[in-house]
Amino acid sequence: MNLIVQKYGGSSLADADGIKRVAQRIVATRKAGHGVVVVVSAMGDTTDELHDLALEVSPLPPGRELDMLLTAGERISMALVAMAIANLGFEARSFTGSQAGVITDSVHGKARIIDVTPGRISSALADGAIPIVAGFQGVSQDSKDITTLGRGGSDTTAVALAAALGAQTCEIYTDVDGVFTADPRIVPAARRIPVISYDEMLEMAASGAKVLHLRCVEYARHYQMAIHVRSSFSSREGTWVAEAPAAQPEENGMDQPIITGVAHDRSEATITVSGIPDKVGVAAKIFRVVARSGINIDMIVQSTSRSTGQADISFTLPRQDGQTAMTVLRGVQEEVGFDSLVFDDRIGKISLIGAGMRSHPGVSADFFGALADSGINIRMISTSEIRISAVVDAADLDSAVVATHRAFGLEDGQAEAVVYGGTGR
């Protein structure tokens, strides 16, 4: 009997009706002859509500206690799903992350899974029961304290459990039909991507696509676990995330689209440090104080004035870290000797992702051309082997996504995607 791990997100478990619908889908999978292990998130907005409750009690709740609190969310949803399955005549047993053997490090709020020892899950399966496992949570190896894996952690639980149990597939159920070539709310003609490679999915997730979280995809790639992202509201095929050759034209002939999708991100801001003296180590000092505050910097641009020798440095960072970064930088202004600091959160980032880009240098030119044709000014650029990102004005972001998506032939109804010859351009 092959084993499928199914993960259901909060939007699929928003109320009693949603829970009953999910139970029916689980039972249907079982009746189709598969072994099933289920991983659940908290119902609807439960996690946010619990977080708000914590802030009512304490402005800075200790991580250990916040994790203890938040894990109540999956405890509620997993018990309810198990009850709904029992109602359909099948035995289901719910398990906390700790009971399911999800062992983590001790970093509360964003713990990493160290090991999965799902002995009780295997026993339940052997007994013919359907195990329902709390996502997002584990127990720390050292202190035996309850931990959480951070936002989107339930996806990671599902993939890690699937790998530990030797499951065939990990199905991630959500409220959309899969991964799209762009956000359908911005580009109504965006198409579902049938298959996407781990590397591309990683870049999509890192660039703002919200359907799967980064760490979950990293896990899946590491364990070569195929993920099927699909909707719990329909029976349509979704998107397979796997070691797929589909987007690698050099191996599969010339007629594969080299661009997989367009992602966007509105959660960043820029800080520009102007008038930095032309001395060795000054830039390093600036980034060191920011890094010490635990802030992740994404893109960096430096420009130097030929006349003065002074430099300007701009970088992007999560918008929510803006105040902290500005405060620590202001604190070293005198020591470092720069002139001014400017914070700008009216920016957006657009990213073009495709494994085929590796062998096709012409993509950048076409991308920038598409933006230029729409009169959109590019403020910063960064690239990886399979991604090009540009920072633009926030007001231009939607039209940048639409223009780029169309320029690369990704729209539904466009005869076919733009393909590049083998020579590049």
Binding segment toward a second copy, per CB under 8 A, in 92-100, 188-196, 255-263, 353-361? 92-100
Phi first, then psi: what are they for 265, rounded to 5°? -145, 120
d(CA 47, CA 42): 6
Torsion of CA 102, 108, 112, 114, to 10 degrees: -50
Pick 97 or 257: Cβ nearer a second copy = 97
Kindly write out the interface string for residues 10-39 of this chain, putting x where it contacts a second copy by CB under 8 A and - elsewhere: ------x--xx-------------------
Binding segment toward a second copy, per CB under 8 A, in 30-38, 85-93, 182-190, 350-358? 85-93
| Helix 72-87 / helix 46-57 crossing angle, nearest 10 deg | 150
Locus of tokens 């914590």: 54
DSSP summary character for residue 194? S
Using the rule CB under 8 A, is 80 a contact of a second copy?
yes
Closest CB 20 distance from a second copy, rounded Å: 7
Q: Residues with Cβ < 8 Å from 420, sequence gap 6 or more?
A: 249, 258, 356, 360, 362, 363
Neighbours of 168 (CB within 10 A): 15
Question: Which listed residue (3, 72, 282, 328) binds a second copy by CB under 8 A?
Answer: 72
Question: Which parts of 139-198 interact with a second copy (CB under 8 A)?
Answer: 144
Closest CB 52 distance from a second copy, rounded Å: 10
User: Would you state the structure tokens that stand for residue 8, as one six-digit string?
Assistant: 């259901």
Binding segment toward a second copy, per CB under 8 A, in 82-90, 195-203, 225-233, 256-264? 82-90
Angle at CA of residue 212, ends 230 and 385, nearest 5° = 120
Question: Which parts of 337-376 interact with a second copy (CB under 8 A)?
Answer: none
Question: Which listed residue (7, 25, 30, 93) binds a second copy by CB under 8 A?
Answer: 93
Pick 64 or 358: Cβ nearer a second copy = 64
Closest CB 117 distance from a second copy, rounded Å: 14
Type of residue found at 246? A
Contact predicate 187/411, CB 8 Å: yes
Positions in the binding site for a second copy (CB under 8 A): 16, 19-20, 50, 53-54, 56-59, 61-62, 64-66, 68-69, 71-73, 75-76, 78-80, 82-84, 86-87, 92-94, 99, 120, 144
